[in-house]
Amino acid sequence: MTYWGLNAFFLAAAVIVGAVALGVHLRRRRESNRLRNVSWIIAVAILLTMTAVFDNVMIGIGLVGYDASKISGVFVGIAPLEDFSYSVAALILLPSLWVLLPSRSRDRSNATTPTPEDSR
Amino acid sequence: MGVLYLLGLLIALTGMVVLDRRFQLFFWRDWRRAVVILPVGLAFFLAWDLLGIRQGIFFRGETSFMTGLQVARELPVEEPFFLALLCYLTMNLLAGLPLLVAAVDGRRGDERRGDERRRDERRGDERRRSGEDPGPRDARLGSSAKGTPR
């Protein structure tokens, strides 16, 4: 199995959970989404940039090695592109779980009005 | 030397906890969800790692930066800490960025509103000077008393 073959399995799992969460999120959509969208883009950019930097450092100092015959050969610096799948999966799976799990504030107040906890 | 990587990860994780606590990003925002999400994320990525190792795709590097302790074959003790950091960082970033963007946006909005207020005040002064605006009430009364000789 290649590195992409392995990642496809886990990315698919994250995408399925993500699709369900997106459906739930859109149904209880709040008013302003521009702030959310801008924040999302910046957060994704930061995490992928950090992945590129630290993955290169980690491979550079020899924390991890790869079987050259099982990776695609596409690199960001010396980091295999496949490694970014971990960050992409984290960005999809974890916030999706946050959306899907029952929220603390829902039973206490209306879910559509942001609570002070949300805006802080 | 062998604890350097682990130490770095622990310092970074401490930073995540400090930020979480200060800005209420993950556990301090809703610990009931966080205590589920972090272990689930950790298990998900550990399974990914273990399958990758079993398939011989990647393996532990021989380096003096790691303790050399392994929790499974080719899986260094440092890896769960790294994966926990990845999860914690992801959630802190996604929760923190809206606060940061809103703060920057709000400050810019305040400046804009401040400019408008100043401009309105200036415009009011000009209107009063040029006679368009009747100006304060007592001045108007005074001028009408003088201006209409009836």
Q: What is the pLDDT of residues A54-70, one digit of tens each?
A: 999 999 999 999 999 99
Are residues B93 and A87, on separate chains, in Cβ contact within 8 Å?
no
Are residues A87 and B90, on separate chains, in Cβ contact within 8 Å?
yes
Q: Tell whether B28 is within 8 A of chain A (Cβ).
A: no
Residue that wins the pLDDT comparison between B127 and A70? A70
Which of A4-8, B121-125, B135-139 is least confident? B135-139
**pTM of the model as a whole:** 0.80
Which residue in the block uniquely carries the two structure tokens 């400019």? B115
Nearest CA in chain B to A9: B48
Instruction: Return the closest-CA partner of residue B22 out of B89, B91, B96, B94.
Output: B96
Are residues B45 and A86, on separate chains, in Cβ contact within 8 Å?
yes
Return the amino acid letter for A73: G
Domain ranges, ordered by start, for chain A: 3-100
Q: Tell whether B88 is within 8 A of chain A (Cβ).
A: no
Sequence-separated (6 or more) residues with CB below 8 Å from residue A6: B48, B51, B52, B55, B57
Distances in Å between the Cα of B63 and the Cα atoms of A72, B11, B46, B67, B105 are: 25, 20, 21, 9, 46
Return the amino acid letter for B53: I
Q: What is the structure's pLDDT at A114? A: 44
Tokens of B58: 């990647």
Tell me, what's the ipTM? Answer: 0.86
Tokens of A105: 């504030």
Are residues A47 and B66, on separate chains, in Cβ contact within 8 Å?
no
With 0-12 CB in 10 A as exposed, 13-18 as middle and 19+ as buried, what is B37? buried
Q: How confident is the model at residue B74 (pLDDT cuts 50, 70, 90)?
A: very high
Interface A:B, Cβ pairs < 8 A: 128
Give phi and psi for B58, each to the nearest 5: -135, 165
| A-chain residues near B36 (CB < 8 A) | 97, 101
Percent of chain A with pLDDT over 70: 84
Tokens of A102: 């029952």
Q: How confident is the model at residue A104 (pLDDT cuts 50, 70, 90)?
A: confident
Q: Tell whether B11 is within 8 A of chain A (Cβ).
A: no
Torsion of CA B113, B116, B118, B121, to 10 degrees: -130
Q: What's the DSSP call for residue A79?
A: E
Q: Tell whether A107 is within 8 A of chain B (Cβ).
A: no
Are residues A1 and B55, on separate chains, in Cβ contact within 8 Å?
yes
The closest CB to that of B94, out of A10, A86, A95, belongs to: A95
E strands, A1-120, are 64-66, 75-76, 79-80
Question: What is the C-alpha to C-alpha distance for residues B121 and B40, in angstroms, rounded to an integer?
Answer: 58
Residue A75 neighbours by CB distance under 10 Å = 14
Q: Tell whether A1 is within 8 A of chain B (Cβ).
A: yes
Question: What is the C-alpha to C-alpha distance for residues A39 and B60, in angstroms, rounded to an integer?
Answer: 35
- The whole-number average pLDDT for the span B35-60 is 97
Q: What is the structure's pLDDT at B108? A: 80
Q: Give the three-state DSSP class for A62.
A: coil
Give chain B's end-to-end CA distance (angstroms, integer).
101
* B59: alpha, beta or left? (left if phi > 0; alpha if psi -120 to 50): beta
Are residues B94 and A40, on separate chains, in Cβ contact within 8 Å?
yes
Q: How confident is the model at residue A113 (pLDDT cuts 50, 70, 90)?
A: very low
